[in-house]
Amino acid sequence: VLLSIFGDAAEEFSSDDGPDTVEAWDSVTHLMLILAIEAEFGMQFETAEIPNLLSVGDIRARLGS
């Protein structure tokens, strides 16, 4: 999902990467990413947590929980 939105650069992402370190990760691509993940994993995030999943690690941890 990361690759589909950020392209090949996403291969190099580490858990700490997020809007602060990836220029293309802005508020629009953040939502695109969250929605694409929901579709891919067949789940829904709660409204309040969506703006706070601000790194690859956060998202991974949330999906693992």
Partner 1 sequence: VDDDSVSIQERIRNAGPGTLSAAQYMSIARELSAKSHGLRPIRIVLLASFTTSLFDAFLKVEAARFGFGLSIHHGGFGQFEQALLQNDWVPADDMPVALVIAMRLEDIDPDLAFRFYQPGRLSFEALAADGLQRIETTVRLFREKAQGPALVANFSPPEFRPLSVFEANSPDSLTSKILELNRGLLERLRELGDAFIWDYAGLVASCGARSWTDPRLWSLAKTAVAPANQPEFAAHLMRTLQGVIFPAAKCLVLDLDNTLWGGVVGDDGPGGIVIGDDYPGSAYKQFQRAVLGLKDRGILLALCSKNDPDVVEEVFKQHPDILLRSDDIAAQRINWQSKSDNLKELAAELNIGLDSLVFFDDNPVERAEVRSKLPEVTVVEVPTDPVFYVEALYAVADFDVPALTQEDRGRAASYQAERQRRVSAEQAGSLEDFLASLDMRLEFGTLDDTSSQRIAQLVAKTNQFNLTTRRRSQDEIEQIAARDDAGVYWLRLADRYADMGLIAMAIVIGEGRDLVIDSLVISCRAANRGVEQAMLAFLADEARQRGFSRLLGEYIPTARNHVVSDLYSRMQFALDTESDGARVYSLDLASQEIRFPDGVSILGCE
Contact residues toward partner 1 (CB under 8 A) are: 1, 3-5, 7, 27-28, 31-32, 35-36, 38-40, 44-47, 50-51
- Which residue, 5 or 57, has its beta carbon nearer to partner 1? 5
Question: Cβ(60)–Cβ(18) under 8 Å?
Answer: no
- Which residue, 32 or 54, has its beta carbon nearer to partner 1? 32
Question: Minimum Å distance from CB 45 to partner 1?
Answer: 8
Q: What is the C-alpha separation between 43 and 16, in angstroms, rounded?
A: 23
- Which residue, 51 or 61, has its beta carbon nearer to partner 1? 51
The residue type of 50 is I
DSSP 21: T
How many other C-beta atoms are found inside a 10 Å radius of the C-beta of residue 53? 20
